[in-house]
Chain A
Amino acid sequence: MKWRKYQLFFLLSVAVLLCTFCFGVKNSLANTISSNGVFTYNNTSCLEDIGIIYAQNSCFANGIGCLISLETATSTVGIYGIASPASLNGEMYNYFYGTPLKPIPVFNECTVNLYEANLPSGLYHIRSFSPFPYLFDDYFSVTNQVFDSTPNTRIDSFTYSTTTNKARVQGYINATTTSGITERLQFHQFSSLLGIESFKEVIATTTGLFDLSFDFLGLPTPYTSTTTAPFIADTTLFARIYQYDNNYATDPFSGVFDSRYKTLLVSTTTTITQLTGINISTSTRELFAYPEYECSITSLTGCFKNALIWAFYPTKDGVEQYYSFISLIENKAPIGYFFMARDSIQGLNKDGTPSTNITIPYSIKYYIFSPFDIGIAGILWFFFLFNFYKRLKFITI
């Protein structure tokens, strides 16, 4: 009996030492998050070294799926993910407990994109689903800095000043090292009166954040203040980032432009509207102004035109009555209910806020709900076509 007690004590000691050793080894493989917000296990064979994947590898083989939870060291954040057994390189399926967060894309079995996951700051814990979580668990920290340095080409801010006539563009651009491929920021302004103006192009030479200013022309204003012609004075500023690929470009023989040459990555616009002068209109209805031609002894044609216009041209007030009448109809029964139903049904969409969150494990969805969904939908389409054919037989023209 005494020997059995020592034997038990010995085995327990060995187990504790083994666990401590493994935990220490695990911590020595501490992984960090790169500046782009992508958390990658720092070894190429994560299936062997990262317990969470290794422990669940058998799940993949069995087609069950692998459960991954992310939680802080002290409390559960409430994000759980199931990596698809069929798509190790695909997006990890997630369902949420508590506060919904964005899904966590898993690019491969070793990498988690924390930027797109939009996790709050804190220390996180990847917990394995194995019986010995400590051997395989890992911790990583998330800081706000991670979320400020995504490598995606983007425009963060696009502002302008009408006093200095300068536009300021801030964002992130990539200077690719691939031969013939460049990212270019293009700026220009466009107005219906003058077309494209102030075109500038900046080719990215370094990867990183940029802060650039561009000059633009002020809004055109009428030369005189006595014109009766209505006009619209506005101009739109454009900031776009393209990726150019000189490997395609324009065919030198046929002159045909290859669309692969120029790819629009990011685009943003802002419109400057500053109405000055007189008789400036901002809508089509306002443009229904009363035209008037010069009438004098040397231009009698204008007098006849003015007479005909006075007789037959509807005034702005006359046209305005039409819109007032439509507004009246929209507020009267029974036609008003049709407009109300139309406006409400336009708000009906599948992407709204769900009334309840139904969480289904990926494996159940993959093997049960998806085939059921496709099968029933197919049957419904078949019945629809069958009944529609029967309906067509009773159509009389």
Chain B
Amino acid sequence: MITSAFLNIIFVVLSFLIGLLPNIQTTGAFTTAITTASGYLSTLYSFIPFIVSTLLAIIVFDLVFESGYMIFKVVYWVIRRFPTQS
């Protein structure tokens, strides 16, 4: 009961705060854009597969690498905020 009450309080508060944010616009335009891009990608892939694969691999690698580096820097910055004895 204690754990349930604790979870209940947390989620009620968080849900109230999150509920203040505006709803996302689900017009489907983004999905349509991705589907269209997928069609173009398939067209290109049919006759230049290596170039398409290379570009996608480089983009994905860059995104993953830079995201990981940014997260590392943020976590490192937060850790440094904690006071130490030294």
Binding site for B on A (CB under 8 A): 310-315, 317-319, 321-322, 324-325, 328-329, 331-334, 336-337, 340-341, 343-345, 347-358, 360, 365, 369, 372-374, 376-377, 380-381, 384, 395, 397
Taken together as a complex, chains A and B put the C-alpha atoms of A354 and B38 apart, in Å, by: 8
What residues of A have a CB within 8 angstroms of the CB of B51 in the complex? Answer: 373, 376-377, 380
What residues of B have a CB within 8 angstroms of the CB of A319 in the complex? Answer: 7
Report yes or no: A333 in contact with B30, Cβ–Cβ below 8 A: no
Report yes or no: B7 in contact with A353, Cβ–Cβ below 8 A: no
Report yes or no: B11 in contact with A321, Cβ–Cβ below 8 A: yes
What residues of A have a CB within 8 angstroms of the CB of B58 in the complex? Answer: 380-381, 384
A318-B8, A340-B30, A344-B30 given; name 10 further pairs at CB < 8 Å.
A324-B11, A328-B15, A344-B33, A344-B34, A347-B34, A348-B34, A348-B38, A355-B36, A374-B50, A376-B51
Nearest B-chain residue to A322, judged by Cβ? B11
Across the A-B interface, the 8 shortest Cβ-Cβ residue pairs? A355-B39, A377-B50, A336-B24, A318-B4, A352-B38, A344-B34, A321-B11, A350-B45
Report yes or no: A350 in contact with B41, Cβ–Cβ below 8 A: yes
What residues of B have a CB within 8 angstroms of the CB of A314 in the complex? Answer: 3-4, 7
Nearest B-chain residue to A344, judged by Cβ? B34
Report yes or no: B18 in contact with A329, Cβ–Cβ below 8 A: yes
Of the four ranges (under 10, 10 to 19, 20 to 34, 35 or more), the interface on chain B belongs to 35 or more
Report yes or no: B38 in contact with A317, Cβ–Cβ below 8 A: no
Nearest A-chain residue to B43, judged by Cβ? A354
Give min CB distance, B2 to chain A, whole Å.
5
Q: Would A354 and B46 be within 8 Å (CB), given that A340-B24, A341-B30 are in contact?
A: yes
Give min CB distance, A325 to chain B, whole Å.
5
Give min CB distance, A360 to chain B, whole Å.
6
Taken together as a complex, chains A and B put the C-alpha atoms of A333 and B36 apart, in Å, by: 24
Nearest B-chain residue to A364, judged by Cβ? B47
What residues of A have a CB within 8 angstroms of the CB of B47 in the complex? Answer: 358, 360, 365, 369, 373
What residues of B have a CB within 8 angstroms of the CB of A336 in the complex? Answer: 23-24
What residues of A have a CB within 8 angstroms of the CB of B35 in the complex? Answer: 347, 352
Taken together as a complex, chains A and B put the C-alpha atoms of A369 and B33 apart, in Å, by: 28
Interface residues of B in 28-76 (CB under 8 A from A): 30-31, 33-43, 45-55, 58, 69, 72, 76
Query: Does more than half of chain B's interface fall in helix, strand or loop, or is it mixed?
Result: helix
Q: Would A377 and B54 be within 8 Å (CB), given that A332-B22, A369-B48, A395-B69 are in contact?
A: yes
Report yes or no: B11 in contact with A347, Cβ–Cβ below 8 A: no
Taken together as a complex, chains A and B put the C-alpha atoms of A337 and B26 apart, in Å, by: 9
26 residue pairs of the A-B complex, CB under 8 angstroms, read: A310-B1, A311-B2, A313-B3, A314-B7, A318-B8, A321-B7, A322-B11, A328-B18, A332-B22, A333-B23, A336-B24, A340-B26, A344-B31, A350-B41, A350-B49, A352-B41, A354-B42, A354-B43, A355-B40, A360-B47, A369-B48, A373-B48, A373-B51, A380-B51, A380-B54, A384-B58
Please indicate which of the listed interface residues A353, A369, A377 has the most CB atoms of chain B within 10 Å of its own CB: A377
What residues of B have a CB within 8 angstroms of the CB of A357 in the complex? Answer: 43
* Interface residue B21 (Cβ < 8 Å from any Cβ of A): yes
Taken together as a complex, chains A and B put the C-alpha atoms of A314 and B46 apart, in Å, by: 54
Taken together as a complex, chains A and B put the C-alpha atoms of A336 and B30 apart, in Å, by: 13
Taken together as a complex, chains A and B put the C-alpha atoms of A90 and B43 apart, in Å, by: 24
What residues of B have a CB within 8 angstroms of the CB of A325 in the complex? Answer: 11, 14-15, 18
Taken together as a complex, chains A and B put the C-alpha atoms of A347 and B30 apart, in Å, by: 12
Report yes or no: B42 in contact with A355, Cβ–Cβ below 8 A: yes
Nearest A-chain residue to B49, judged by Cβ? A373
* Interface residue B19 (Cβ < 8 Å from any Cβ of A): yes
Taken together as a complex, chains A and B put the C-alpha atoms of A296 and B3 apart, in Å, by: 26
What residues of B have a CB within 8 angstroms of the CB of A313 in the complex? Answer: 3
Give min CB distance, A88 to chain B, whole Å.
23
Report yes or no: B42 in contact with A353, Cβ–Cβ below 8 A: yes
Report yes or no: B49 in contact with A345, Cβ–Cβ below 8 A: no
Report yes or no: A322 in contact with B38, Cβ–Cβ below 8 A: no
Nearest A-chain residue to B33, judged by Cβ? A344
Report yes or no: B42 in contact with A352, Cβ–Cβ below 8 A: yes
